[in-house]
């Protein structure tokens, strides 16, 4: 039995999850999030692997069995987490008699009709801007980590119920999930990473307030030069560039879901004026905010 939270409802568009690869910008697109209960009444009932050009995050919630991944059988139990790259043959259903329950997030990264098929390790390097990540395709989480991962997967699933109007929140939750994976696998200095994550959290909580590097420096207790340098190591952009991109993505949500005027949205997110907001929006999305709203409401 498979319970879908959502299937794909919109095309990939710029977001905090976007990456750049070989001169092209690729954008995150959710295909589906689901929770599946699979029962095999006898051994060999399942076990027909297939592959496709998408990414899967698979977290086993209950049961103990074997599945097929990459041409091999793998033992799974509660807390087993798989990161599945495009082209990897798989069958997430039980090979042996018994039951399994798992949560799944399936997504792709596309630039127009062209989609990335990089191994997920390389994709996460692009997302996190962390060149030294060495990522296995399987994690065995302890009890506490499993509970935390389950909470994130379920929270993500609940957000999907209104994907069209809440993509900003969904993207942040997906970013949180991917960042947790990067944290677990990272070989970089933990203090630097912690500072970058703390800075990013403050920025996310101040999208509708005036924020500058002076305020961040005072809040975190580090010099502006040090803070800017360490943040760039993780995010490949300055704190203020990150702040601006999130405000624009949140503004796109309001353009889709509210009747606020461009002037009101510009003031809400503390752009200098409507012209500054429109110019900034077009630089990220490729079209003016008014045209973006019109197109979204025609779909």
DSSP three-state, residue 4 = strand
pLDDT given at position 187: 41
pLDDT given at position 8: 55
pLDDT given at position 188: 41
pLDDT given at position 224: 80
Q: Is there a single domain that holds both residue 291 and residue 224?
A: yes
> How far apart, in whole angstroms, are the C-alpha atoms of residue 297 and residue 169?
20
pLDDT given at position 167: 77
Q: Is there a single domain that holds both residue 45 and residue 121?
A: yes
Q: Is there a single domain that holds both residue 165 and residue 249?
A: no
> How far apart, in whole angstroms, are the C-alpha atoms of residue 289 and residue 164?
17
> How far apart, in whole angstroms, are the C-alpha atoms of residue 50 and residue 70?
10
Closest CA to 103 of 71, 73, 40, 148: 148
Q: DSSP class of residue 162?
A: G
Q: Is there a single domain that holds both residue 113 and residue 178?
A: yes
Q: Is there a single domain that holds both residue 127 and residue 197?
A: no
pLDDT in single tens digits along all 299 residues of the chain: 455 455 554 567 888 899 999 999 999 988 888 889 999 888 888 778 999 899 999 999 999 999 999 888 888 999 999 999 999 999 999 999 999 999 999 999 999 889 999 999 899 888 877 776 667 788 878 888 889 888 888 888 777 666 555 678 888 888 888 888 877 765 444 566 788 889 999 999 999 988 999 899 888 877 787 788 888 888 889 999 999 999 999 999 999 999 999 999 999 999 999 999 999 999 999 999 999 999 988 86
From 131, 155, 183, the end of a domain falls on 183
Q: Is there a single domain that holds both residue 149 and residue 51?
A: yes
Q: DSSP class of residue 50?
A: B
From 151, 183, 215, the end of a domain falls on 183
Query: Is the separation of the CB atoms in 91 and 1 below 8 Å?
Result: no
Each residue of 104-131: b (16+ CB within 10 Å) or e? bbbbbbbbeeebbebbbbebbbbbbbbe
Q: Is there a single domain that holds both residue 104 and residue 173?
A: yes
Give how many domains the chain has, as a whole number.
2
Q: Is there a single domain that holds both residue 178 and residue 227?
A: no
CATH of the domain at 65: 2.60.120.280
Q: Is there a single domain that holds both residue 35 and residue 166?
A: yes
Dihedral, CA atoms, 151, 156, 161, 165, nearest 10 degrees? 140
CATH of the domain at 220: 1.10.10.60
pTM: 0.70
From 131, 148, 183, the end of a domain falls on 183
Query: Is the separation of the CB atoms in 53 and 87 below 8 Å?
Result: yes
Q: Is there a single domain that holds both residue 10 and residue 156?
A: yes
Q: Is there a single domain that holds both residue 79 and residue 58?
A: yes
Q: Is there a single domain that holds both residue 33 and residue 93?
A: yes
Which residue range is the domain that position 159 belongs to? 2-183
pLDDT given at position 107: 93
């Amino acid at each position: 039995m498979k319970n879908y939270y959502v299937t794909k409802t919109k095309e990939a568009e710029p977001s905090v999850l976007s990456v750049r690869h070989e001169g092209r910008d690729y954008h995150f697109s959710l295909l589906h999030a689901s929770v599946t209960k699979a029962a095999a009444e006898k051994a060999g009932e399942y076990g027909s692997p297939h592959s496709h050009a998408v990414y899967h995050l698979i977290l086993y919630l209950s049961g103990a069995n074997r599945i097929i991944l990459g041409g091999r059988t793998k033992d799974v139990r509660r807390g087993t987490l798989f990161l599945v790259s495009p082209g990897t043959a798989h069958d997430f259903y039980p090979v042996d008699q018994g039951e399994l329950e798992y949560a799944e997030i399936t997504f792709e990264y596309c630039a127009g009709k062209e989609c990335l098929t990089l191994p997920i390790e390389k994709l996460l390097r692009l997302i996190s801007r962390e060149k030294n990540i060495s990522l296995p395709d399987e994690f065995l989480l302890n009890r506490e980590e499993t509970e935390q991962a389950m909470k994130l997967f379920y929270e993500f699933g609940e957000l999907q119920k209104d994907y069209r109007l809440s993509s900003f929140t969904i993207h942040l939750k997906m970013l949180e999930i991917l960042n947790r994976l990067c944290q677990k696998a990272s070989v970089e200095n933990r203090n630097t990473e912690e500072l970058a994550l703390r800075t990013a959290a403050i920025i996310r909580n101040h999208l509708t307030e005036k924020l500058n590097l002076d305020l961040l420096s005072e809040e975190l207790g580090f010099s502006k030069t040090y803070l800017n340098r360490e943040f760039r190591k993780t995010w490949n952009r300055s704190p203020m560039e990150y702040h601006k991109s999130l405000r624009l993505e949140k503004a796109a949500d309001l353009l889709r879901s509210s009747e606020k005027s461009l002037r009101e949205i510009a003031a809400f997110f503390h752009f200098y004026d409507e012209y500054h907001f429109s110019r900034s929006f077009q630089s990220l999305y490729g079209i003016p905010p008014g045209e973006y709203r019109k197109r979204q409401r025609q779909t």
